[in-house]
Structures are given as C-alpha cells and as structure tokens.
Amino acid sequence: MAERITESLQQKLSERLSYYEDIGIRLFYRDRSAGAIAQPPAVTVSPSAIQEEKTTLAKTLPKPEPYKLMPVTARKIDVLPILAGPSLFESAEKIADDSLLRIQTDLGDCTRCKLHKGRNKIVFGDGNPKAELVFVGEGPGHDEDVQGLPFVGRAGKLLTQMIEAMGLRRKDVYICNVVKCRPPENRAPEKEEVATCSPFLLRQIDAIAPKVIVCLGSVAAQTLLETNRGISQFRGQWLEFRGRKLLATYHPAYLLRNPSAKSEVWKDLQKVMGVLGLEVKKGKSA
C-alpha cells in the first residue's frame, strides 16, 4: 500500500508547481519507469528562490512595445454598374408543341398582377390559330372587358375595316394584346404589368408562328422591340422579331382622334399585303 505524502512534501510540491506555472510551464509527464516510481527525486524550493527566478526571467525577456493605433487610409472602392436582369424574352422559353389552348389554360383565372382586381373578363385573343398575320394591341378597353374579345369597341370596328380593306376577314388573322386585363380608365399598362403578362403574348406568337406581326401603337411596339423610342421613329419600317417580320403602325384609337393619319397607316398595311402576297388595290383604304 502506497504511503501518504507528508504535509511538508505537499507544501514543497505546491511551491514547485507554482514556480513552473509562473514561468509558463503547465504540462508535466510522469516517468512510469520502476526506478522513477521507487525513488522519486526530492523537491526543495524556497520562496526566495522563486522570487529570484522571476526577477531573472523578467530581465531576460524583451519589454513589450506600447500598443499603437495604426492610421487607416481611406481607399476608394470602384462601384460596378448595375447590370440589367434577363429580358422578358429570355424568361419566356419556347415550349415544344405549345398551343393557344394550353397557353390559355396556363393563364387560367390569372391574378398575377393588380389588373385582375378591376377586370370583368380576361381578353386572351381571337382569330385563326395558324394565321400568317398577327395584330398586337396594348390592352382591352371597356367593350373588350365586357365581351372578353379583343378590339370590339369603336377602335375594334375600325381595325375590322382595315383588315377587310386588305382583302382579309377577322377570322383570317389573329388579334391579341400585350396585357389580357383592362387597365383602369383605359390607361397604358405599367411596366410591371407588361412584364408579368408579356410571356403569355410571346407564347401566343410562337404557337401561331405568323409570317408578319403588326404592332398597333407604342406599347405593343416598345414591348416587343424592347425600346423606349417613340413609334414615330420606326413606324412603317420592317423590323425583325424572333426571326419574323414586324411592322409598327398607329393604333386604331389614335386614328379615331387623328383621321388624317389613316393614309399613313394604309401605306403601312400595303407593305404587309405585299409580303403576304395580297393584291394591293390603289385608292382603297380604311
């Protein structure tokens, strides 16, 4: 049975351990050899020796330098320009075997933007699903909202006359709008509303695959061409939209307010007739 350590020895061991701790030594390894166990070395440390060792150690260690705050030099950070997100065309991926029925089903009883709050009916579109000519307006008016069909009010009747003057019937072409719900007080659709609804328009155009697209008014032209330029800067010019011919002209509602512009629109429609192979009769207009 091992003998207990005497109080005197415990005191000496405590002083020695304190000494080592003061000089930074805190880990010890036990010698497990038989001799070490049988004959532990004697430990004799006096308080004066500990103090002397502390003094000697303090003289040999370098004095710490006082803490200094380093000056901070302001650095100019180059601000990168904000990059525009993907356009609405990039977000509207082409769907294989898409159809107008499928698009209308996906649109459903749409509540994607605030326009749904004041609408009566969604105005999806109307006409030949395989038409060579598609007319795109900006949005439904009062009569369109009531009937659920595009261009059936005063402006719609004028558009019908324009189509017939081309030698076509409404059922030969396809007519739709950028937004499918009537904006309050017939105001122009807002940017967010256009961005929300336009993917359905793009799917309609892809599903129909027309030969020519006619944009009626600034909103339709600016939406498809992704521009803020006024329609007067490119009206009557052939442009390209996703591999198809596109021509912008004045909206029938504009013609009701400005009848003198009808001759310019008729010239635009004659260009469309030429591309579609329709006979152009001189002097005939809407």
Give backbone dihedrals phi and psi of 144, rounded to 5 degrees, phi first: -65, -40
What is the Cα–Cα distance from 26 to 34, expressed in whole angstroms? 25
Collapsed DSSP state (helix, strand, coil) of residue 279? coil
Measure the CA–CA gap between 266 and 285, rounded to whole angstroms. Answer: 6
Mean predicted confidence (pLDDT) in 175-188:
97
Mean pLDDT of all residues belonging to the chain: 83
Residues 197-214, mean pLDDT to the nearest whole number? 98
Contact 136, 225 (CB under 8 A): no
What pLDDT score was predicted for residue 15?
Answer: 76
Pick the CATH number of 95-276 from 2.40.10.120, 1.20.1090.10, 3.30.365.10, 3.40.470.10: 3.40.470.10
Over residues 238-260, the mean pLDDT reads: 97
Over range 110-124, report the average pLDDT. 97
Domain boundaries, the chain: 8-50, 95-276
CA 254 – CA 29 distance, rounded (Å): 98
Report angle CA 189, 216, 145 to the nearest 5 degrees: 50
Residue 221 pLDDT more than 80?
Answer: yes
- The reported pLDDT for the residue numbered 9 is 78
Query: How many of the other CB atoms lie within 10 Å of CB of 79?
Result: 6
More confident residue, 39 or 63: 63
Q: How confident is the model at residue 24 (pLDDT cuts 50, 70, 90)?
A: low
**244-249 and 212-216 strand pairing:** parallel
Q: Would you state the pLDDT for residue 82?
A: 34
Which residues neighbour 80 within 8 Å (Cβ) at sequence distance 6 or greater? none
Tokens of 178: 């950028």
pLDDT for residue 51: 72
In terms of pLDDT, which residue wins out, 240 or 55? 240
Angle in degrees, 0-180, between the axes of helices 7-22 and 47-60, rounded to the nearest 10: 10
CA–CA gap between residue 242 and residue 262 (Å, rounded)? 28
**pLDDT value, residue 86:** 44
pLDDT of 134: 98
Residue 89 has a pLDDT of 46
